[in-house]
A and B are shown apart, each in its own frame.
Chain A
Amino acid sequence: MSQSTPELTKPSPRKVVLPRELHPVAWWVWALGMAAAASMTTNPWILLTIVAVAAIVVEFRRGDAPWALSFGFYLWFGLIIVVIRVVFRIIFGGAMGPDDPVLFSLPSIPLPEVARGIELLGDVTLGSVLAGLYDGMRLAALIICVGAANSLANPRQLLASIPPALYEVGTALVVALSVFPQLADSVKRVTKARRLRGEPGKGVSATRRIVIPVLEDALERSMTLAASMDSRGYGRAGDTPLRDRWLTGTLMIVAMLGLAVGSYGFLDGTAPRILAWPMLGIGVLFAVASMWAAGKRVKRTRYRTIRWQFGEYSAVGSGLAVAIGLKFAGAEHVGVMYPPVDSWPELLPVVILIPLIGALPAILTPPALRDEDTMEDE
């Protein structure tokens, strides 16, 4: 269009997608959906698709924070799991059936009388190796999906989004997150310093030379931190009326009673059924109510919370879609979901296409914030 009219120069009504951090809960729901899907099958094609989808989304949407770089580690971890599974199958052997083809034979080691029936090594059959491989791949895919969530979601933001009543627990975790690197520094420093007093030696006294200064250091730091948090208003009671505190307390006690009786009824089969699920339900209900009541009186706010927008809903939606879709599709094609080990696993378009829905967040979510000098630790 050569002629420019005022209408054309106006910004288009389509929303611009700006880079931002996606709500960590959204990433977790997406990843758990993928993991749930992975747990429903041992078909290597489906599992590979799921892992590939997770890898694509991570590659497209991770930031450059330290936790974002952990995905490669999870991939390696998955590979190791698969290898271990297969090696175990080889060691403990056992054919899957009478006509299971033998791949190769190893000298067998019979175990003593006590463990009769177990034979180490021996004939290695295709079926047992494949079973180990499929099983290992399923576990690996699960772990890789969780790893994807870990690399995509900001752990601190995740802690920030827990309900206000659990704020104290969240704070403890945040503090632990920052204390661990400090503790590691401290250990490194003391280990180096003790050489200045001569050869470190071995045994209890040598350990003591590290442990005592490190613990003293840690104790001092935590006292400083506690004092600092207190001076900055942590744990302010504000002005809660007595009535509200009573309400929270009562709700909490009823919830505890309900949960205790309910779990007893649930575990003891001879107890009247009325004590099981109904009591558990009441307990949970009151627990939620007491948390709500406790949260209501908390006079605390959150800085820069992440609003749920289209990106978040698309991630959650696609994750759930994969899990639910595969559940239904799998019910109709059990043979595809759990392929027999004596034939080539079947490749059915519909069950391969469903996991691909999980790749949508790679396009639909906003790109991650990338800043060369953001979050560089050390």
Chain B
Amino acid sequence: MNIVELNDVSFAYDDSGPTILTDVNLALLEGELVLVSGRTGSGKSTLLRMFNGLVPHFSGGTLRGDIVLKGESIVGKPPRELADFVGFVPQDPLSSFVGSTVEEELAYGMEQLGLDQQTMRRRVEETLDLLGIAHLRRRSVRALSGGQQQRVAIGAVLTTHPKLLVLDEPTSALDPMAAEDVLATISRLTQDLALTVVIAEHRMERVVPFVDRIAIVENGRVRIGDPADLLIESPVAPPIVELGRLAGWRPLPLSVRDARSQSRANPLTLGKPEPRATHTGERALSARDIVVQYGTKVAVNRVDLNLNRGEVLALMGRNGCGKSSLMWALQGTGRRTGGTVDVDGDDPADLKADEARLLVGLVPQTAADLLYLESVADECAAADQHAGAEAGTTRALLDRLAPGIEQQKHPRDLSEGQRLSLVLAIVLSAEPEVVLLDEPTRGLDYPAKHALAEMLADLAHRKHAIMVSTHDVEFVAQVADRAIVMADGDIVSQGLAADVLAESPAFAPQVSKILGPEWLTIEQVQAARESGASDA
């Protein structure tokens, strides 16, 4: 049975402007899990928001065609009238919470529908159990971890018993383990409740094994079909699919299990992976006994750390393990309870902000916090002036990182990747020896992540010392020379990135899961194939 049908749907923000989506035809079945994929800005979110009327009711714009829910056209209906049929979970759960405690949050939707007390109480209990959050019932939603918040947000829409669940990037802010948890929960919902789930996600490697069908949004068109068929030519694809493409495996493997069996049947003939070119220079930063303490909570516990010129160091660990605190403490702006940092004989914490940023630059997690002017040109000019650099320095840096950004664009209108590049360019305008990046891969799609990896490699090549914190193991595999894993304020594992990643199954990139620990990235495999081909 079709839960939702989109018939010849087109959407444009204004009549004279370009159409975001053109002639979309889509029918979703009961109980299926559909992944919507596409590049940033391709119209994924627009498509998702059509299902419950947020587009066009909240966004403005013109929608043509017909959207049919349970046999009834919903064109012209506002989201609130569809609340009992479509559950929509936005990207950032925290800013979507209305209640203060978990229980209140779960009950909110039902209160709006006017359900009676007993039904509400029963459904809240059921939902708490279904999502495994019963122990959190009286906790404040603000005090929960990211994964818990995401599950509460899902629970909050489930209590109205919707038939369709729409999730916008539910795992983008989560560490690998929390993400697995959330995805396992979602996949169970499709089985237990016959719920139809539509999910948009940049990190497809996590979701693809669970999905029934995939919808690819490209140039305003939507194609839907079997994942193995569609991913052969998708503009964005997880490493496993790229490996399958490279090796010519058909049907395309979607899970590590499939890929392993394919790899046994048609082994890839590969030589040895090229050893990674390390270009490590002299010591740029050395930190001793770093302690960061908030009240009684020890966020960073006596951490020693060295950073060399020309290397990229990846900092990993679950949410809240002290990665950000460590970065801020190293930069000198954040709290540091104890320990010393030495950059060229100076401790950045003892210097004025102007001087500290010449030594250590930091791109914070919410990079947009640094931006306050109306155009890219103004931001660049202000950065030049602050750094005492020649006019045009920042713009030149920006062009090297992300070419072709319009001067007059408002920084808020830039894509996630472009904004990150702008902030990075501003930080680099002071020419710091050490560059720290806190979670820069958030919200980036595969091509954007690839561009960032190249950017970092280029900076390392120019003898900057780089440290980057991230949850994204594939990104670490691509970019890092060394890696550190933190847990509960301590460093629990450190060494060459390849070794650290191979040590733990949670951190192993997909390529090593399939081909063995000596292979980390698609690029390596590709290079080995090419050299193998030229040898032959």
Chain A residues within 8 Å of B, Cβ to Cβ? 156, 171, 174-175, 177-178, 181-182, 189-190, 192-200, 208-209, 212-213, 216-217, 220-221, 224-238, 299-305, 371, 373-378
In the complex, what's the smallest C-beta–C-beta distance from B435 to chain A, in angstroms? 11
Asked whether B370 lies within 8 Å of A196 as measured between CB atoms, the reply is yes
Give chain B residues whose Cβ lies under 8 Å from the Cβ of A227.
54, 58, 79, 90, 96
Residue B352, interface by CB 8 Å? yes
How many angstroms between the C-alpha atoms of A305 and B103 in the bound complex? 13
How many angstroms between the C-alpha atoms of A225 and B101 in the bound complex? 16
Partner of B80 from A192, A193, A230, A301 at Cβ < 8 Å:
A230
A-B contact pairs, 28 of them (CB 8 A): A178-B100, A178-B142, A181-B142, A196-B353, A196-B361, A196-B362, A197-B370, A198-B387, A224-B95, A224-B96, A227-B79, A228-B88, A228-B90, A231-B52, A231-B88, A232-B112, A232-B156, A234-B80, A234-B112, A237-B81, A301-B116, A303-B110, A303-B121, A304-B117, A304-B121, A371-B138, A376-B140, A378-B143
Partner of B83 from A189, A193, A231, A375 at Cβ < 8 Å:
A231
Residue B92, interface by CB 8 Å? yes
A-B contact count (CB 8 A): 180
In the complex, what's the smallest C-beta–C-beta distance from B379 to chain A, in angstroms? 10
Q: Nearest chain-A residue to B335 (Cβ)?
A: A192
How many angstroms between the C-alpha atoms of A224 and B98 in the bound complex? 11
Partner of A198 from B111, B117, B353 at Cβ < 8 Å:
B353
Q: Nearest chain-A residue to B51 (Cβ)?
A: A231
In the complex, what's the smallest C-beta–C-beta distance from B100 to chain A, in angstroms? 6
Interface string of B364-380 (1 = CB under 8 A from A): 10101111110000000
Interface size on B, residues (CB 8 A): 71
How many angstroms between the C-alpha atoms of A153 and B527 in the bound complex? 68
Partner of B107 from A192, A193, A230, A304 at Cβ < 8 Å:
A304
Contacts A301-B117, A375-B139 aside, 14 further interface pairs with beta carbons under 8 A come to A193-B369, A198-B430, A209-B372, A217-B369, A231-B52, A231-B88, A232-B98, A236-B83, A301-B116, A303-B103, A304-B103, A305-B117, A373-B139, A377-B143
Asked whether B357 lies within 8 Å of A198 as measured between CB atoms, the reply is yes
Give chain A residues whose Cβ lies under 8 Å from the Cβ of B334.
192
Asked whether A192 lies within 8 Å of B354 as measured between CB atoms, the reply is no
Asked whether A300 lies within 8 Å of B81 as measured between CB atoms, the reply is no
Asked whether B412 lies within 8 Å of A216 as measured between CB atoms, the reply is yes
Q: Nearest chain-A residue to B382 (Cβ)?
A: A197
Residue B328, interface by CB 8 Å? yes
Q: Which 4 A-B pairs have the closest CB atoms?
A: A233-B83, A233-B112, A303-B107, A228-B96
Partner of B372 from A208, A221, A228, A237 at Cβ < 8 Å:
A208
Partner of A231 from B79, B120, B366 at Cβ < 8 Å:
B79
Residue B97, interface by CB 8 Å? yes
Instruction: Using A193-B370, A227-B54, A233-B109 as known contacts, say yes or no to A375 and B96 having CB atoms under 8 A apart.
Output: no
Partner of B140 from A194, A300, A375 at Cβ < 8 Å:
A375
Asked whether A177 lies within 8 Å of B100 as measured between CB atoms, the reply is yes
How many angstroms between the C-alpha atoms of A259 and B101 in the bound complex? 40
Contact residues, B471-508 vs A (CB, 8 A): none
How many angstroms between the C-alpha atoms of A378 and B299 in the bound complex? 14
Residue B160, interface by CB 8 Å? yes
Asked whether A231 lies within 8 Å of B54 as measured between CB atoms, the reply is yes
Among B112, B371, B386, the one with the most A-chain Cβ atoms within 10 Å of its Cβ is B112
Asked whether B364 lies within 8 Å of A196 as measured between CB atoms, the reply is yes
Q: Nearest chain-A residue to B426 (Cβ)?
A: A197
